Amino acid sequence: SSHGADGMFVLSVCVQTLMLSMLVLSGAGSAITGIGGVLSGEQDMDGINRLLNSIFKVIMVGMAVVSVVVFLFPGMIANLFGATGHLLGFSEKPLRIFSLIFIPIGLVIPLSNLFVLLNRNMLASLVNVGLLVCLLPAVWLMSTIAPDDIWYAMPCGMWVLMGLCIAATCVISSRHKGLHWLFLTKTVPDDSNR
């Protein structure tokens, strides 16, 4: 079955909510590449690691708060975009499901910026391509096998991508001693600079 105009309204609310969070993530990405670039130029790896810890903690707490607010008060979010009556009730379940996207996207997008800073361009490209590779097939699959549950597609795709990102950084860091398990920044002094 199709959700029709109601479904399109809810989808637009989801996308607009996501775009608002992307503004915050864009600012965090700018801080990573800007301040992190200066620290990297000074070879201050300890400073970079402290910066990244601070930024990622703020991002994850912020995304968790957004996720909880959307999950607990989906009607309030839908009402902000003009939903009333039947549409307000219809919006609740999809928005609760969609609230699960904020935590993984809050990790994946800043990681992509970080990989660019660290000249890990292949990894950054894979993350960016992964956004499409994980999301589009998930949406297509859900629309084919369970169209009424299509709302699960984007959050599931993002959790898969986050899992793949974490797995990739863990594998890389395990093969190169002295790298942070997630950030892939040096955690010990580089002997070659001594």
pLDDT digits (tens, 9 = 90+) for 65-121: 999 999 999 999 999 998 888 889 999 999 999 999 999 999 999 999 999 999 999
pLDDT digits (tens, 9 = 90+) for 27-67: 999 999 999 999 989 999 999 999 999 999 999 999 999 99
Say how far apart CA 28 and CA 163 lie, in whole Å: 21
Say how far apart CA 175 and CA 118 lie, in whole Å: 17
Judge contact between 63 and 158, C-beta under 8 A: no
pLDDT of residue 191: 52
